[in-house]
Amino acid sequence: MKIKISFPDNSTKEFEQGVTGLDIAKSISEGLAQAACAIKVNGKVQDLSLPISEDSKVQILTFDDPEGKEVFLHSAAHLLAHAVTELYPYAKLTIGPVVEEGFYYDIDHDPFTPEDLKKIEQKMHEIMKRKEIIKREMISKKDALELFKDNPYKIEMINDLEEGSISIYRQGSFVDLCRGPHLPHTGMIKAFKLTKIAGAYWRGDAKNKQLQRIYGIAFPEKKDLKEWLRLREEAEKRDHRKLGKKLELFSFHDEAPGMPFFLPKGMVIWNELIDFWMEEHRKAEYVLVKTPVMMNRILWERSGHWMNYRENMYTTTIDNMDYAIKPMNCPGGMLIFSEKTRSYRDLPLRMGEIGLVHRHELSGVLSGLFRVRAFHQDDAHIFMTEEQITSEILGVLNLCDRFYSLFGLDYHLELSTRPEKSIGSDEQWEKATDGLRKALDETGRDYKINEGDGAFYGPKIDIHIKDAIGRTWQCGTIQLDMSLPEKFELTYEGADGKKHRPVVIHRVIYGSLERFLGIMVEHYAGKFPLWLSPVQVRILTVADRHDEYANFLKKKFSDADIRVEVDSRAESISKKVREAQLQQVNYILVIGDKEQENQTISVRTRDNVVHGEKDPDEFIDELIAEIKDRK
């Protein structure tokens, strides 16, 4: 019996019933068959070896597809676990998921050493070369309990499952409890690296036993691993935590875990980012507001946060009333809109707020400025009519483009549509999604559609920026909301004299200012453009007799709003130049007898480009122009 298979390009092909994903890939090309990691059948990702028995829409997934990459990395986690069990048969396996950068496996075993990792890697290479076939089997819960009777962690997981068939995967002598899917065989995992060892509690509970977590990364080709290692080395050099300390930008203290302290030089960058934000938002006709950091339980119950987000909120009791420090700015913005009667003539109302929010993150996930407990969101809430959706979304996209272009950041756009669980009518969702899609089309940029990945209260656009070494970061988000206007009973008076419910856009551009600043430190590797730089000019004196002229120049630069320092220490000029360069000072001015006599300056840059002797006033004019243009 024949079945019809449809492909993403809308082409179709007939196959015999029971055809596998691997058969379909081979019918297209041998190269695709060799690269295939899994197949998506009617929206569900499954093993290439499983038979297809009915007309279906399919997509062959390779490492280049996010879902294919996930299958590949999960199979690499099994390869790691297989190697561990061959080397250390007494080790107890727990779970081995895919994470943002690679995979890990948690193992009950004495602490592993770097030498152990080398042995495990070597054993993984042996298993890879064997090209062990990876097979899926379905067994009963009773048989699963018997199979894993010596592993209390697997027994606990099996007991959590409902009665019925349970999937396991075998590769050679190795067997693991797993939903899958997986690669056809281990030989596809040609390049991998175990990256680090860490401790982790079983199921994240400190009351449980601490396990050994082995992290790794894997690729289909050795050249991909080589490039990853190169980028990782470059990323290490750019680590914002190291540079932040070296350049005296920010610090962290045990007295306030996950809450950064910004130092004077860090505050310079912070204020420049905010000044630019304010300037652009005034041009875009936003009004600025400020809402309280702490509000009572009644508000958070109304917004839904008390029921759904309370474990991430810091709470207290005042006058027998529960309060919470805000994890988001949105509810406060809703209260401001509701303060008075609004007309359709008042819309769109673009309300911006750089609000300080707090969210409780587990201590184990805190990471410099990238994951903190206290941060500022550059929020805006745009209240509008349904007819204004497309134009307002387009306005936000254009604003985002001005921001990211200034910092030399490329970006891509993703549209996430209605999930299975959602609120609102079909008509509301159709209008909202169509408004976002039209705005994206008008930008002329390509965008990806993530079907079913929207928030329960509305579709959204995510903006992923790409930094100087090719890493992507999700910063900007534009979300349409049909929930909070309902919960807060927001209305405006329409042209027909009747009450209507406004549509709300939630949007951020920087996202979190702390995180964006951390990204900028790494993007520029600490070499900030002049307008952002904490110290723009440093004047170096050759001898004490040049101090008076140096201080005269310092005042000249300061009066022109140029950030300047004088280094008059009794050190050699070469040492002072080197230190200024390591501190990433943009322009280094040397003052000696000749410069003092001629009333000039000798200019060089942090990259050791010597510009020679210049007139101070002319140089100041050059700097003012460079700062104004934010080059």
Catalytically active residues, by annotation: 330, 359, 377, 379, 381, 460, 506
Q: What's the one-letter identity of residue 404?
A: Y
- In Å, how far from its chain's centre is CA 567? 40
| Residue owning tokens 């899958």 | 180
Helices (H), ranges, 524-592: 547-559, 573-582
CB atoms within 10 A of CB 387: 12
For the chain, how long is the longest CA-to-CA vector?
98
- State whether residue 175 is helix, strand or coil: strand
Residues 170 and 183: beta-carbon distance below 8 Å: no
Tokens of 255: 């007295």
Give CA–CA dist 442/444, Å, rounded. 5
Q: Which one-letter DSSP state was computed for residue 282?
A: H
E-assigned strands of 482-563?
492-493, 499-500, 503-508, 537-541
Residue 349: CB partners within 8 Å, gap ≥ 6?
287, 337, 342, 382, 383, 384
Q: In 3D, which of 494, 488, 620, 496 has the Cα closest to residue 559?
A: 620
E-assigned strands of 140-185?
166-171, 174-177
The C-alpha angle 558, 563, 568, rounded to 5 degrees, equals: 85
Give CA–CA dist 105/186, Å, rounded. 17
Cα separations (Å) of 241 from 254, 356, 368, 455, 525? Answer: 15, 21, 6, 32, 11
Residue 381: CB partners within 8 Å, gap ≥ 6?
329, 330, 333, 334, 337, 351, 353, 504, 505, 506
